[in-house]
Structure 1
Amino acid sequence: MKTRITELLGIRYPIIQGGMQWVALSPLVAAVSNAGGLGVLTALTQPSPEDLRKEIQKTQALTSAPFAVNLTFLPAQNKPPYDEFIDVIIESGIRIVETAGNNPREYMGRLHQGGVKVIHKCTSVRHALSAQKIGVDAVSIDGFECAGHPGEDDVPGLVLIPAAVKVLDIPVVASGGIATGAGMAAALALGAEGVNMGTRFLATMEAPVHDDLKQALVNAKETDTQLVLRSLNNTSRALQSSVTQEVVDMERRAGGCQFEDLRHLVTGQRGKAALQSGNIDDAVIATGQCVGLIDDVPTCQELIDRMVRDCRAAFARGTGLFLS
């Protein structure tokens, strides 16, 4: 396949693996890249910049194909050593970075000077325009269906993707709600030049999470996710569980609640433990609505091959609708 995204990133297929916290480690990342997509390591999964360097080296030992590093910019009071992470990224020869969270403006110069292409993840057209203005090379636009943080505008991909494409000059990657080749074809038909998938890659053989969690994703329906932290304007979508229900109940109680009331339920360490134990009722586990489209746990190679094949078939069916 050939799009501006495959050309920009040097990959065979315009399929990008989401930078999932605690999950985007070398075995998964290398498997995605070896299959022709773009694997993405998550920097902040690593305890320190030096740990990131080691994880990059592990990945490089497993693949010669391009892969990226996700760097999520957190509020100032929780600021990790970003300059040191960027030093490691550049020194390790990484040429693609996915940024997320806060605006990456102050780091753009260093990244570009280091020969790094930057994809910024956005949840709205206005944020995508701001990202284009500061010089990112592409944007990944997250629809309301996505896992994790969908923003506060509640605009699904069917509207958000073409709305972004209409006003942007740089390539758009569609993110949220995509788990099949038909979904990929739909995103490309709407003007996207690539797709980003997190939840679907969570249910693969190489994802470093418990098999019980993968089976829970296979069993789940499209209605089995829940929005939490809405009352705090920090909405997140997760797999429905006793913990997510407890969070929602606390948010709905008279007088509402503060984040400190919920911290023990939504802590990242609790989520990490649940990914390893497979007990979905132990934590808030980020999951998109596309979970209802997941029917198996393939290898990354099998998944990407199938998606490309089914994408081609979907376009062929569409062409066949027109009378000669």
Structure 2
Amino acid sequence: MVLVTKLTKMLGIKHPIVQGGMQYVGTAEMASAVSNAGALGVLTALTQPTPEALRAEIRRCRTMTNNPFGVNLTFLPAIVPPPYEEYVKVIIDEGIKVVETAGNNPGKYIKMFKDAGVIVIHKCTAIRHALSAQKLGVDVLSIDGFECAGHPGEDDITGLILLAKAATTLQIPYIASGGFGDGRGLAAALALGAEGVNMGTRFMCTAEAPIHHHIKETIVAADERSTTLVFRPFRNTSRIFKNKIAKEVNNREKNPKVVFEDVRELVAGSRGRQVYVTGDPDFGVWTAGQVVGLINDIPTCHELVSRMVKDAQDIITKRLGSMVAADSKL
């Protein structure tokens, strides 16, 4: 038995699960393992330092899986932005069929992808943003709740509300993102109208994830209180793992006159990347969602995906199905 949804049919995948883009984690090792498990693996474009490095990573991933995989490209404000158009052209030239986009002002690039026949999944943290992306012609929306790792937006609306509202507001398929990591979450997402789920943090804690094993053990030992929000004073809120540096950032941000320069040296990306290399969870800031409270093991991607789908099926057919059957006898 499999869960067949609009997402699985559209993407040609077995299971309605997408591995979201993750800076420094979305490499060929990660994406291919997820795709080989029957879900959709995703390379993170900006983890690669240049467009040509991305081209090489796409080709490397193709040697590791025969199943569909996608590429994430996130558009973020920067003094010197990456050469986004060059990354887009590489993605198109290499024949990638599915792209996950996120961030600000994606219209120009979405048009480039759509003109090339690429399926676009766009991640949004607000219904108003989802409606704008729908007008731009994206194929699928990824509705990202406040529980998520990374940038949850500035509205603080949980996935439970966003997904239920999406069901009555949107005209195109959507998937659920933020807080998902088990079969219960998958079944709940489908009940809320989603065609599947998007997971980042949960896939970090798998055998194939290209990060230090001690970071995976740190995630297993964590609970649902083990994340915190930073950059709130700068209206660029980000959810990260609550380590020593995160607590210091929060402490400095209590100053009503705080400016980004006050925390810059603490949140440097180079330090965060070293966390995954050295295994020291306190060396820098690193993103993690509240789903860490649901993670209790380090399975292979195949074990994780198979277990999630089986558990979701059992909930749908046995628990919920028995409720309908019981009601019909009244």
Smaller-chain TM-score bracket:
over 0.9
How far, CA to CA, are the matches of 2:229 and 2:194 in structure 1? Answer: 26
Which of the numbers 111, 134, 137 marks the counterpart of 2:139?
137
Aligned to 2:28: 26
What is the CA-CA distance between 1:321 and the residue it aligns to?
2.2
Contact 1:42–1:71 (CA under 8 A) maintained in structure 2:
yes
Contact 1:266–1:284 (CA under 8 A) maintained in structure 2:
yes
Aligned to 1:317: 319
Contact 1:250–1:256 (CA under 8 A) maintained in structure 2:
no
Contact 1:103–1:131 (CA under 8 A) maintained in structure 2:
no
Aligned to 1:283: 284
SS at match of 1:162: helix
What is the CA-CA distance between 1:309 and the residue it aligns to?
0.4
- TM-score, normalised via structure 1 length: 0.98
How far, CA to CA, are the matches of 1:158 and 1:176 in structure 2? Answer: 10
Identity of aligned residues (%): 55
Task: Specify the code of the residue in structure 2 equivalent to 1:186.
Answer: A
Q: Deviations over 1:191-217 (max 9, x none)?
A: 010100001000000000001000000
How far, CA to CA, are the matches of 1:178 and 1:240 in structure 2? Answer: 19
What is the CA-CA distance between 1:290 and the residue it aligns to?
0.7
Aligned to 2:271: 270
How far, CA to CA, are the matches of 1:125 and 1:209 in structure 2? Answer: 33
> Is 1:162 matched with 2:200?
no
Which of the numbers 250, 253, 261 marks the counterpart of 2:252?
250
Which stretch has the larger CA shift, 161-170 or 196-205?
Answer: 161-170
Aligned to 1:188: 190
Aligned to 2:19: 17
How far, CA to CA, are the matches of 2:162 and 2:116 in structure 1? Answer: 32
Task: Specify the code of the residue in structure 2 equivalent to 1:265.
Answer: L
SS at match of 2:282: helix
Q: Cα RMSD (Å) of the superposition?
A: 1.0
Task: Specify the code of the residue in structure 1 equivalent to 2:278.
Answer: S
Which stretch has the larger CA shift, 224-233 or 313-322?
Answer: 313-322
Aligned to 1:68: 70
Q: Deviations over 1:33-72 (max 9, x none)?
A: 0111000100000010000000001100001111110001
Aligned to 1:46: 48
How far, CA to CA, are the matches of 1:76 and 1:223 in structure 2? Answer: 31
Which stretch has the larger CA shift, 102-111 or 183-192?
Answer: 102-111
Aligned to 2:109: 107
Contact 1:178–1:197 (CA under 8 A) maintained in structure 2:
yes
SS at match of 1:238: strand
Which consecutive aligned stretches of 4+ in structure 1 deviate over 4 angstroms post-superposition? Answer: none
How far, CA to CA, are the matches of 1:186 and 1:108 in structure 2? Answer: 30
Aligned to 2:295: 294
Q: Deviations over 1:136-186 (max 9, x none)?
A: 111101101001111111111111111112111111110000010111100
Contact 1:144–1:150 (CA under 8 A) maintained in structure 2:
yes
Contact 1:229–1:235 (CA under 8 A) maintained in structure 2:
yes
How far, CA to CA, are the matches of 1:92 and 1:165 in structure 2? Answer: 34
Contact 1:53–1:89 (CA under 8 A) maintained in structure 2:
yes
How far, CA to CA, are the matches of 1:103 and 1:110 in structure 2? Answer: 13
Q: Deviations over 1:276-311 (max 9, x none)?
A: 111111111110111010010000000000000000
5+ residue gaps, structure 1: none
**Superposed, which structure 2 residues align to 1:71-82 within 5 Å?**
71-75=73-77, 77-82=79-84
What is the CA-CA distance between 1:256 and the residue it aligns to?
3.1
Aligned to 2:309: 308
Which stretch has the larger CA shift, 259-268 or 197-206?
Answer: 259-268
How far, CA to CA, are the matches of 2:273 and 2:139 in structure 1? Answer: 32
Aligned to 1:122: 124
What is the CA-CA distance between 1:76 and the residue it aligns to?
5.6
Change (3 A) 1:257 1:306: same
